């Protein structure tokens, strides 16, 4: 009883200190005066601590969409988005056209002190034109949502941004009562929802035969690599990226919180993310920034060319040196860099980058890395850059269109959101998107993991398979550790 009263007092203090009711009343008044819909965005200071990872897994409001996001390279890099104030799920290929339209129309309706901190979260399938298969059948081609509740961890505490659609008919007392009740449930660490199902969900309803069709076959994948190498030798492509997937089945339901905590412990830099859509969770630790924009200053990562790390320091240093000197990897990297520069030249000015790639060392691999800088032109948003950059040569190949067609033929699977863009943008059109790599899709006690390799003229099928094995390790480790 005492604990319950403390939670009630906490929520009341949050709402009163932030003048929530007064700001919402003002939004309703504007909606009445202008006979239109408004989006109230109200920023409040959260009182006390909050475990974002635990709250994501518990999902006490039983929302359809939520996102956990930890960006180790940015200040205020940890956030949790819960529920939808405004959203769309795209079934067609023009995901970013719909996203830009939703963003523009929604921002025009903003009222309140919170628009400065608002974030729209967005994700897209690698190939929106591919038919969803048994793994991704519940997912759209792309989605975007403005969260009802956005928690942002800052240096001095936690900021809460509440976004609420406001019409002239909205009753103030009822709206405040609903928000108060939801915040009390979110603040209760013991609040858990009993699910409808008795047994943990699986992708294929426990059918081992169906799951066998999901797992990529080693021999067939290596044959596909060999076919692509022959076509590259005939100058049909410069590079094609082939991916594969592995099924992981646990004895009990997989805990998204456990997976997230393991990834957060192992990867202090880069983005650790989890996107829940209905009953499934897409989770990973992406090392590759697709694009970042802050006050229109643009940063793009070019990552291509990879080798495994070694526990022996001397062997590890030798592997890094060999990667920097590798003609095959340098050539692959140059292809990717050239493709990125061509893609963004009409929306980014003052492009600059170093003459030679650097080394970016992660927990299990070394990458060749070139940072690209520039300025986003007026009248554009980060979505314009994402639409041009995706798919990058690092996850598709060159030339892009021909590589995508070859991927559809050779992979014989739906990548889903793997290797697609995932991230957020604010009311000013700035934001940060990563390429969804080092990731997997969780459904009950099943996980489907993804990894790919860049195929060029001198690629060896066995070596490329081994490269995908290294890239599967982060998620396999996160799933296997308690």
| Helix, strand, coil percentages for the chain (3-state, nearest 5) | 35, 30, 35
Q: Which of 41, 40, 55, 46 is nearest to 11 (CA)?
A: 46
Backbone angles phi, psi at 449, to 5 degrees: -105, 150
| Residue with token string 């719909």 | 98
Q: Kindly report whether the peptide bond that precedes residue 391 is cis, defined as omega within 30 degrees of 0.
A: yes
Give the count of beta carbons closer than 10 Å to the beta carbon of residue 37. 15
First vs last C-alpha separation in the chain = 33
Domain layout of the chain by residue ranges: 2-187, 208-480
Both tokens assigned to 222: 């290596």
Question: What's the CATH code, domain 208-480?
Answer: 3.60.120.10
pLDDT tens, the chain, 482 aa long: 445 666 677 788 888 866 899 999 999 999 999 999 999 999 999 988 899 999 999 999 999 999 999 999 887 789 999 999 999 998 877 888 889 999 999 999 999 999 999 999 999 999 999 888 999 999 999 999 999 999 999 988 999 999 999 999 999 999 999 999 999 999 987 666 554 444 555 665 544 445 556 788 899 999 999 999 999 999 999 899 999 999 999 989 999 999 999 999 999 989 999 999 999 999 999 988 999 999 999 999 888 888 888 888 999 999 999 999 999 889 888 888 988 898 899 999 999 999 999 998 877 788 899 999 999 999 999 999 999 999 988 899 888 999 999 999 999 899 999 999 999 999 999 999 999 999 999 999 999 999 999 998 889 999 999 999 989 999 999 998 76
- Residues 228 and 239: their CA atoms lie apart, in Å, by 9
Rounded to two decimals, the pTM is 0.90
Size of the chain, expressed as the number of residues it contains: 482
For residue 223, report the phi and psi dihedrals to the nearest 5 degrees.
-65, -40
Alpha carbons within 13 angstroms on the beta-carbon side of residue 226 total: 8
Cα–Cα dist 144/87, whole Å: 6
Residues designated catalytic: 239, 288
Chain-centroid distance, C-alpha 456: 28
Distance CA(76)–CA(98), nearest Å, equals: 28
Closest Cα partner for 215 from 247, 192, 252?
247
Q: How many other β-carbons are positioned within 10 Å of the β-carbon of residue 68?
A: 26
Contact between 240 and 407 under an 8 Å Cβ cutoff? The reply is: yes
Distance CA 172, CA 238 (A): 61
């Amino acid at each position: 009883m005492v604990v319950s009263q403390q939670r009630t007092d906490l929520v009341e203090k949050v709402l009163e200190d932030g003048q929530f009711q007064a700001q919402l009343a003002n939004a309703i008044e504007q909606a009445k005066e202008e006979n239109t819909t408004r989006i109230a965005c109200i920023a409040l200071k959260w009182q006390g601590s909050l475990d974002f990872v635990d709250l994501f897994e518990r999902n006490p409001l039983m929302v359809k969409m939520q996102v956990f996001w930890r960006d180790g390279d940015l200040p205020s890099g940890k956030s949790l988005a819960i529920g939808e104030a405004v959203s769309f799920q795209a079934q067609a290929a023009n995901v970013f056209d719909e996203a830009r339209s939703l963003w523009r129309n929604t921002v025009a309706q903003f009222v309140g002190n919170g628009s400065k901190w608002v974030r729209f979260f967005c994700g897209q399938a690698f190939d929106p034109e591919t038919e969803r298969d048994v793994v991704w059948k519940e997912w759209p081609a792309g989605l975007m949502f403005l969260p009802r509740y956005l928690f942002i961890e800052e240096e001095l505490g936690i900021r809460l941004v509440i976004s609420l659609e406001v019409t002239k008919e909205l009753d103030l007392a009822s709206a405040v009562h609903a928000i108060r009740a939801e915040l009390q449930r979110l603040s209760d660490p013991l609040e858990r929802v009993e699910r409808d199902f008795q047994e943990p969900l699986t992708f294929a309803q426990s059918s081992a035969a169906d799951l066998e069709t999901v797992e990529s076959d080693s021999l067939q994948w290596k044959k596909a690599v060999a076919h692509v190498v022959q076509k590259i030798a005939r100058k049909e492509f410069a590079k094609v990226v082939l991916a594969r997937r592995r099924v992981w089945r646990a004895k009990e339901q997989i805990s998204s919180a456990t997976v997230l905590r393991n990834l957060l412990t192992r990867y202090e830099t880069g983005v650790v993310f989890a996107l829940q859509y209905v009953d499934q969770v897409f989770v990973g630790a992406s090392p590759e920034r697709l694009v970042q924009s802050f006050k229109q200053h643009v940063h793009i990562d070019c990552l291509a060319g990879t080798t495994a790390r070694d526990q022996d320091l001397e062997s590890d240093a030798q592997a890094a040196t060999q990667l920097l000197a590798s003609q095959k990897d340098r050539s692959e990297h140059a292809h990717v860099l050239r493709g990125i520069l061509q893609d963004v030249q009409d929306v980014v000015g003052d492009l600059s980058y170093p003459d030679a790639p650097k080394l970016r060392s992660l927990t299990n691999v070394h990458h060749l890395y070139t940072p690209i800088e520039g300025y986003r032109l007026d009248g554009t948003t980060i979505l314009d850059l994402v639409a041009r950059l995706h798919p990058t040569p690092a996850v598709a190949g060159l030339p892009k269109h021909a590589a995508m067609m070859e991927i559809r033929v050779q992979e014989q699977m739906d990548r889903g959101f793997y290797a697609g863009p995932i991230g957020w943008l604010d009311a000013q059109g700035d934001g940060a998107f990563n390429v969804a790599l080092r990731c997997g899709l969780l459904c009950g006690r099943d996980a489907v993991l993804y990894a790919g390799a860049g195929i060029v003229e001198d690629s060896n099928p066995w070596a490329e398979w081994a490269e995908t094995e290294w890239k599967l390790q982060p998620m396999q480790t996160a799933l296997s550790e308690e």
